[in-house]
Amino acid sequence: MANRTSAAAPVSPKASRKSYRQGTQGELLEAAGHIFAEKGFDRATGKEICERAGANSAAINYYFGGMEGLYAAVLEEANRRLVPLESVTAAIARKTGARAKLQAIIELIVDRLLGPISSSWVLGVFSREIILPTSALEHLFETQGLPKARIAKSIIGELMGLPVDHPAVSRGCISVMAPMLLLFVVDRQQLKRLFPTLSLNSDDAKVLARHLLRFALGGLSAVARDTHSELASQLGRSERHRRQPLVDG
């Protein structure tokens, strides 16, 4: 009996064009990410990006409407690969307490920052944007930054036993975020020169995350005690002043 072979289903021209477009867009994003990380937005040129991507010189305008549109798309892609809002909400979705939620978020961020992405262009693009923000950051700020800040304030406020709009909660958020922000922007080699025993490999993510969590909880607890003590003192002074009899002059 003759062997029966099945012919591959033909690919439609429409599907082929769609695949080509997606491939070209992806190549442009990847090439632009590397160049923006190396040179920054102001010094990058469309010509070198297209050459690196192996694309036509008009491809940036065709797919992204120009260099600004391409840069905005690169920032979006960098955020998607790093810690998008969806990843944060998923990490805390099944956590019932503020401590567990904070732990989940710290572990998520540290794992990403010490993982393979740390050697990609993503951190380079983000660190430049954090230090010298451009107008392209505004969209990410509205859609990603503000919702993440609301989540952080809710968790820190619960841990401190304070309203989310209390200034101490905002300061607490900064204190928790600052060490992780350092890993965004600092040169890892220089950091290792300063602290030779510091290990920033992916295998050390759990150790670092545990340290950051303990450090954050200790600081927040101490500040909360002081803040509640100050509030109690203010309330006591106000109450004494209220009850003080008026004296005629």
0.85 exceeded by pTM: no
Sign of torsion, CA 187 190 191 192?
A: positive
The reply to whether domains 23-79 and 82-233 share a CATH topology is: no
In CATH, what class is 82-233?
mainly alpha
The reported pLDDT for the residue numbered 222 is 96
Structure tokens at 96: 């019932």
Domain boundaries, the chain: 23-79, 82-233
Answer whether 101's CB lies under 8 Å from 95's CB: yes
179-213 pLDDT, tens digit per residue, is: 999 988 888 889 999 999 998 988 899 999 999 99
* Range 122-126 average pLDDT: 92
**CATH number of 23-79, picked from 3.90.180.10, 3.10.105.10, 1.10.3470.10, 1.10.10.60:** 1.10.10.60
